[in-house]
């Protein structure tokens, strides 16, 4: 539930759980998710509760997503890249992926 | 970008105002310096995206933010090596640094280390604080600065402190719809802060503060003396319930709730190294013990900026210069006299920057009711431990933060206590009638941020490892 | 928001809380697992016992070890004690009114090649020859049934199916509380500085200026036990060690038993919450007097490589935390358990690093037997402290 208050930079295309979204060069993955209206980025390994970015500065570890096959990455510390594959994390991270 | 080397004279960690200033000064005096920072661009949090923000219209973010540009060019000219996208996960008292860049971990050595990792937002454990759509004011600022993003729909701001008013003003200038600002500043704080008013009146904060507050109050409902808050919703935040002094509980719809009740030093790295820390009863946080030059209790480790104690961006910049000067003296680039002469203007600027802060600290001291969660509220977000579970464990004889950590797993999640440490310490302090200084804090160890098994396995073999093995 | 402080009715003794018993019969120095186990067993025999712990129960080795509850791979001298202790573990709730997080899914020691498997086979044969049947040799196929996630190259293993693991801090706390409920005083935050003869008994002095008196003292002071022993005129060449451990993020369950490796140091287990604990023989450095340990990431890297080789499923995991506790072992890798060789009314149980957690329940029972009857049924001769006395 975020909108751009200024002109976006160069367009970057990435996918989230298989669905393509548009982002702006310079966005963090977390910002791109929020701009695309994706409100939940993971469910917790303890109770399966929905979570989303909270601090945007690498402190809270709520924005954990799988990026290009590597799990539990902090989306707020990772810049978007064309062709990036993002997957939201459901519950426990599966061993071996 | 040049390759990271194995040895440096000085490693600075954090590219906010303190880190930029320290690295610039030290490199300028001839120290072989590297500045490591997690973000892809310099500025830390307060000057986030200063070199690349899409918000060209200066009036949205305000002139205090744009001051950050004066730090970047001198740094780039200084000869210091800049290493962005670098997560430092370990620093030892001997100056061995473990750092990961682009998924690869390595160890390197520095003769002197300046930590400039800054502050983080104080936890704000209200019911529903883990719901999607609840974020810190700092998070909203970062989205605005880095990506020009503004929350859509109804936005509610809640909490206490100058940043709350700043983001409110910035949001209004960017065209956001703010339904209300719920001010949790206790009325009693005015009385406590009053003796320090003269200094505040003489400082630069007064004029800026009043202008901001007036700008915001003109345009949105501001409810003061708010005594309870809750985020309501199932899968995400849908409303905010609150009760102001002398009023009954009210509820307002919200699509985004932005929380802020001050910032506290980020002590995870300084703590893991073994620097001494103490409880600051005025700022209600733990801070490392440092001298006037930022030197910690451990030789070779200095701490500059908000990471040593909250004083704001301008003070952080000056403390960075002082730490850089001291590093140069310790590594024999300057004698004491030359250091002190060079330090004089920075010390004067520091004094000016700190004037009036005591008033702000006291005025915006967060209420106990918002530092200590209600029983069913989560105290530890990562491991989903409620305040009730913590209190029950204390009653069973689990008496300290480290025992609680082992018993309940609070503090064992990936954030390593950054969002629960203060809450847990204060819960114990209150339950046992002890000062937080006596209760202590989580024992923090490296890695201060998670590293992958792959990165760790790829660290170079060392002879130390061979000697340390006991076959069993 | 109103804040209700809550205190349960249960009596908790910590630091300078409720008044201490007037004159204990026994003072136990060290309130870790072995100290609290001794206190529990003594208190159950009606002995008035006080434990003096310099930090808090579980602060050091007891609370931060790998939690392995094993008979597998024991030094032959330890096997009878370990077998007896395992019986207590399987009834741990009866002993301390808490299950301690004990889960029994077996322990496996894996061979990575034929040579290692032969060594394991020889070991199993020797153990069986001694009359013990808890170690079984399993072949490549049986190994995969028990440990499907283990790497292809592993050739077989020793398997102890009734071994397992527990939560070390929770266990130590359970023993501490059970000892308290049985009547023992557990005093934390009090460091013993000297032990002196006073008539037929002892005067135990502490860093906060208090003195405690009892007829009998028990030295369970872990990595500081040599200092207590020295006060009795005995040599105890402990080797303080800071074995490093690390823990992963939460992963889907993929392994049940606890795993070790024949050819390289490893202790590997997955908890019910999905996190995986990785330990082994790599050490950090320590400062006993500062309660400080320093991790050595080169050693942790070796552990990481071992896990990488043995469990490919772990290759995407993260290490979330690492630590090293302050422990102590003896030069011959078996503990000191038994009466003082130089003084009446003094007993020892220390030097357990790497092999002490599982022995916790039985070591206290042995001490209690020794203190009250002068003898024990279990063969403790190999653990006598006099084996370190200077010759001649």
pLDDT tens for each residue of C93-143: 999 999 999 999 999 999 999 999 999 999 999 999 999 999 999 999 999
Nearest-CA distance from B60 to chain C in Å?
Answer: 36
Closest chain A CA to residue C274: A92
| Terminal Cα-to-Cα distance of chain A (whole angstroms) | 31
Q: For B5-42, write each residue's pLDDT tens digit.
A: 999 999 999 999 999 999 999 999 999 999 999 999 99
User: How large is the average pLDDT for residues C184-206?
Assistant: 96
HEC string for chain B = CCCCCCEEEEEEECCCHHHHHHHHHHHHCCCCEEEECCCCCCCCCCCCCCCCCCCCCHHHHCHHHHCCHHHHHHHHHCCCEEECCEEEEEECCCCEEEEEECCEEEEEEEEEEEECCCEEECCCCCCCCCCCCEEEHHHHHHHHHHHCEEECCCEEEEECCHHHHHHHHHHHHCCCCEEEEEECCCCHHHHHHHHHHHHHHHCHHHHHHHHHHHHHHHHCCEECCEEEEEEECCCCCCEEEEEECCCCCEEEECCEEEEECCEEECCHHHHHHCCCEEEECCCCEEEECCCCCCECCCCCEEECHHHCCCCCHHHHHHHHHHHHHHHHHHCCCCCHHHHHHHHHHHHHHHHHHHCCHHHHHHHCCCCHHHHCCCCCCEEECCCCEEHHHHHHHHHHCCCCHHHHHHHHCCCCCCCCCCCCHHHHHHHHHHHHCCCHHHHCCCCCCCCCCCEEHHHHHCCCCCHHHHHHECCC
Is there a contact between C274 and A92 if contact means CB atoms under 8 Å apart?
yes
CB proximity under 8 Å: B 268-297 to C: 274
pLDDT tier at C8 (50, 70, 90 boundaries)?
very low
Q: Are B10 and B114 in contact (CB under 8 A)?
A: yes
pLDDT tier at B204 (50, 70, 90 boundaries)?
confident
Mean pLDDT of chain B: 94
Residues in chain C within 8 Å Cβ distance of A95: 149, 251-252, 254, 313-314, 316-317
Closest chain B CA to residue A79: B40
Q: For A29-78, write each residue's pLDDT tens digit.
A: 999 999 999 999 999 999 999 999 999 999 999 999 999 999 999 999 99
Nearest-CA distance from C256 to chain A in Å?
Answer: 14
Nearest-CA distance from B45 to chain A in Å?
Answer: 8
CB proximity under 8 Å: B 346-375 to C: 368-370, 372, 374-375
Q: What pLDDT is stored for residue C2 in this prediction?
A: 23
Tell me the three state secondary structure of residue C222: helix
Is there a contact between C318 and B452 if contact means CB atoms under 8 Å apart?
yes
Q: For B327-376, write each residue's pLDDT tens digit.
A: 999 999 999 999 999 999 999 999 999 998 999 999 999 999 999 999 99
Residues in chain A within 8 Å Cβ distance of B383: 46
Closest chain C CA to residue B229: C1
Is there a contact between B132 and A31 if contact means CB atoms under 8 Å apart?
no
pLDDT tier at B462 (50, 70, 90 boundaries)?
low
ipTM entry: 0.96
Nearest-CA distance from B461 to chain C in Å?
Answer: 6
- Say yes or no to pLDDT of C14 above 80: no
- Say yes or no to pLDDT of B464 above 50: no
- B contact chains, 3+ CB pairs < 8 A: A, C
Of B228, B402, B451, the CB nearest to C1: B228
DSSP class of A2: E
Nearest-CA distance from B271 to chain C in Å?
Answer: 12
Of B120, B147, B381, the CB nearest to A35: B147
User: How large is the average pLDDT for residues C37-64?
Assistant: 97
Residues of chain A with a CB closer than 8 angstroms to some CB in chain B: 1-9, 24, 26-28, 31, 34-35, 39-40, 44, 46-47, 49-62, 64, 70, 72, 76-77, 79
Residues in chain A within 8 Å Cβ distance of C250: 45, 92-93
Closest chain B CA to residue C242: B468
Q: What pLDDT is stored for residue A92 in this prediction?
A: 67
Closest chain A CA to residue C308: A96
Is there a contact between C252 and A94 if contact means CB atoms under 8 Å apart?
yes
| Terminal Cα-to-Cα distance of chain B (whole angstroms) | 45
Q: Is C274 touching A (CB cutoff 8 A)?
A: yes
Of C241, C308, C322, the CB nearest to B446: C322
Is there a contact between C252 and A93 if contact means CB atoms under 8 Å apart?
yes
Give the residue among C26, C17, C32 at the shortest CA–CA distance from C335: C32
Rounded Cα distance, C278 and C300, in Å:
9
- C contact chains, 3+ CB pairs < 8 A: A, B
Give the residue among C318, C62, C320 at the shortest CA–CA distance from B412: C320
Residues in chain A within 8 Å Cβ distance of B150: 2-5
Closest chain A CA to residue C319: A72
Nearest-CA distance from B50 to chain C in Å?
Answer: 32
Is there a contact between A24 and B60 if contact means CB atoms under 8 Å apart?
no
Of B368, B391, B453, the CB nearest to C6: B391
Q: Is B13 touching C (CB cutoff 8 A)?
A: no
Nearest-CA distance from B331 to chain A in Å?
Answer: 33
Of A5, A59, A72, the CB nearest to B148: A5
Q: Is C275 touching A (CB cutoff 8 A)?
A: no
CB proximity under 8 Å: A 63-92 to C: 70-72, 92
Is there a contact between B396 and C322 if contact means CB atoms under 8 Å apart?
no
Residues in chain A within 8 Å Cβ distance of C317: 93, 95
Nearest-CA distance from C251 to chain A in Å?
Answer: 5
Residues in chain B within 8 Å Cβ distance of C7: 395, 431
Rounded Cα distance, B224 and B228, in Å:
11
Is there a contact between B54 and A26 if contact means CB atoms under 8 Å apart?
yes
Give the residue among B114, B124, B118 at the shortest CA–CA distance from B39: B118
Rounded Cα distance, B163 and B119, in Å:
13
A·C CB contacts under 8 A: 35
Of C8, C297, C315, the CB nearest to B107: C297
Q: Is A97 touching C (CB cutoff 8 A)?
A: yes
Is there a contact between C251 and A70 if contact means CB atoms under 8 Å apart?
no
- Say yes or no to pLDDT of C303 above 50: yes
The percentage of chain C sitting over the pLDDT mark of 70, rounded to a whole number, equals 95
pLDDT tier at B57 (50, 70, 90 boundaries)?
confident
- Say yes or no to pLDDT of B146 above 70: yes
How far CA B372 is from CA of B21, B434, C180, in Å, comes to 37, 15, 31
Closest chain C CA to residue A45: C250
pTM of the complete model: 0.94
The percentage of chain B sitting over the pLDDT mark of 90, rounded to a whole number, equals 89
Q: What pLDDT is stored for residue C391 in this prediction?
A: 59
Q: For B380-421, write each residue's pLDDT tens digit.
A: 999 999 999 999 999 988 999 999 999 999 999 999 999 999
Residues in chain A within 8 Å Cβ distance of B414: 61, 64, 72
Rounded Cα distance, A64 and A43, in Å:
10
Residues in chain C within 8 Å Cβ distance of A42: none
Residues in chain C within 8 Å Cβ distance of B452: 316-319
- Say yes or no to pLDDT of B136 above 50: yes
């Amino acid at each position: 539930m975020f909108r751009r208050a200024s002109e976006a930079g160069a367009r970057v295309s990435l996918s989230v759980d298989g669905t393509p979204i548009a982002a702006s060069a310079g966005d963090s993955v977390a910002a791109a998710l929020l701009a695309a209206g994706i409100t939940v980025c993971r469910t917790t390994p303890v109770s399966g509760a929905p979570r989303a970015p909270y601090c945007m500065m690498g402190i809270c570890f709520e924005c954990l997503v799988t990026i290009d096959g590597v799990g539990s990455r902090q989306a707020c510390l990772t810049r978007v890249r064309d062709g990036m594959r993002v997957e939201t994390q459901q519950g426990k991270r599966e061993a071996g992926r | 970008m040049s390759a990271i080397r194995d040895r440096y004279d000085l490693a600075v960690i954090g590219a906010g105002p303190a880190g930029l200033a320290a690295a610039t000064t030290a490199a300028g005096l001839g120290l072989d310096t590297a500045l490591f920072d997690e973000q892809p661009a310099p500025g830390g949090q307060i000057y986030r995206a200063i070199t690349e923000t899409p918000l060209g219209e200066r009036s949205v973010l305000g002139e205090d933010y744009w001051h950050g540009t004066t730090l970047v060019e001198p740094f780039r000219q200084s000869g210091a090596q800049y290493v962005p996208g670098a997560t430092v996960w370990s620093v030892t008292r001997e100056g061995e640094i473990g750092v990961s860049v682009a998924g690869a971990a390595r160890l390197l050595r520095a003769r002197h280390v300046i930590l400039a990792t800054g502050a983080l937002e104080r936890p704000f454990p209200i019911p529903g604080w883990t719901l999607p759509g609840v974020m810190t004011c700092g998070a909203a600022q970062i989205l605005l600065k880095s990506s020009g993003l503004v929350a859509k729909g109804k936005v509610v701001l809640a909490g206490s402190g100058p940043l709350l008013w700043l983001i409110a003003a910035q949001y209004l200038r960017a065209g956001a719809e703010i339904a209300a600002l719920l001010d949790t500043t206790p009325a009693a704080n005015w009385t406590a802060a009053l003796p320090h008013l003269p200094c505040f009146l003489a400082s630069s904060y007064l004029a800026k503060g009043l202008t901001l507050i007036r700008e915001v109050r003109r345009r949105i409902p501001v409810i003061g003396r708010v005594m309870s808050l809750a985020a309501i919703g199932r899968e995400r935040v849908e409303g905010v319930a609150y009760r102001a002094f002398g009023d009954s509980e009210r509820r307002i719809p919200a699509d985004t709730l932005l929380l802020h009740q001050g910032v506290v030093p980020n002590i995870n790295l300084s703590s893991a190294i073994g620097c001494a820390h103490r409880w600051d009863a005025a700022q209600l946080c733990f801070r490392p013990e440092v001298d006037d030059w930022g030197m910690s209790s451990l030789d070779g480790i200095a701490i500059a900026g908000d990471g040593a104690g909250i004083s704001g961006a301008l003070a952080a910049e000056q403390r960075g210069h002082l730490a850089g000067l001291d590093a140069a003296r310790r590594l024999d680039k300057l004698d004491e006299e030359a250091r002190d002469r060079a330090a004089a203007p920075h010390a004067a600027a520091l004094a000016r920057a700190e004037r009036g802060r005591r008033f702000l600290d006291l005025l915006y001291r967060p209420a106990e009711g918002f530092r200590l969660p209600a029983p069913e509220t989560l105290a530890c977000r990562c491991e989903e431990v409620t305040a009730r579970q913590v209190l029950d464990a204390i009653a069973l004889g689990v008496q300290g933060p480290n025992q609680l950590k082992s018993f309940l797993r609070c503090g064992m999640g990936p954030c390593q206590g950054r969002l629960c440490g203060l809450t847990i310490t204060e819960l114990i302090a209150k339950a046992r009638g002890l000062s937080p200084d006596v209760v202590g804090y989580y024992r923090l160890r490296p890695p201060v941020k998670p590293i992958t098994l792959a990165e760790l396995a790829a660290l170079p073999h060392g002879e130390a490892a061979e000697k340390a093995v006991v076959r069993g | 928001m109103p804040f209700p402080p809550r205190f349960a009715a249960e009596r908790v003794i910590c630091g300078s809380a409720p008044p201490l018993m007037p004159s204990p019969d026994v003072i136990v120095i060290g309130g870790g697992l072995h100290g609290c186990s001794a206190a529990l067993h003594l208190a159950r025999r009606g002995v008035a016992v006080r434990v003096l712990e310099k930090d808090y129960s579980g602060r050091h080795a007891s609370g931060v070890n790998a939690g392995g509850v094993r008979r597998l791979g024991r030094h032959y001298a330890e096997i009878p004690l370990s077998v007896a202790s395992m019986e207590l573990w399987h009834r741990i709730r009866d002993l301390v009114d808490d299950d301690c997080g004990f889960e029994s899914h077996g322990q496996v020691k894996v061979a990575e090649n034929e040579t290692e498997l032969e060594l394991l086979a020889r070991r199993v044969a020797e153990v069986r020859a001694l009359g013990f049947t808890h170690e079984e040799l399993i072949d490549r196929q049986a190994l995969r049934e028990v440990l499907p996630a283990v790497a292809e190259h592993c050739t077989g293993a020793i398997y102890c199916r009734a071994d397992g693991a527990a939560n070390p801090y929770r266990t130590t706390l359970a023993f501490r509380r059970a000892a308290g409920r049985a009547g023992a005083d557990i005093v934390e935050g009090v460091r013993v500085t000297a032990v002196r003869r006073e008539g037929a008994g002892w005067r135990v002095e502490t860093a906060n200026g208090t003195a405690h008196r009892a007829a009998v003292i028990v030295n369970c002071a872990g990595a500081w036990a040599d200092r207590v022993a020295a006060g009795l005129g005995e040599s105890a060449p402990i080797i303080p060690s800071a074995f490093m451990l690390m823990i992963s993020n939460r992963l889907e369950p993929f392994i049940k038993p606890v795993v070790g490796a024949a050819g390289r140091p490893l202790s590997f287990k997955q908890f019910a919450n999905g996190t995986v604990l990785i330990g082994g023989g790599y050490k950090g450095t320590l400062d006993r007097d500062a309660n400080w340990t320093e991790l050595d990431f080169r050693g942790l890297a070796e552990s990481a490589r071992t896990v990488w080789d043995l469990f490919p499923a772990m290759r995407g995991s993260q290490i979330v935390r690492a630590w090293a506790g302050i422990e102590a072992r003896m030069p011959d890798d078996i503990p000191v358990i038994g009466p003082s060789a130089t003084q009446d009314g003094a007993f020892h149980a220390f030097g357990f690093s790497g092999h002490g957690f599982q022995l916790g329940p039985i070591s206290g029972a042995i001490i209690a037997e020794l203190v009250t009857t002068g003898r024990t049924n279990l063969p403790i001769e190999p653990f006598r402290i006099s084996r370190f006395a200077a010759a001649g």
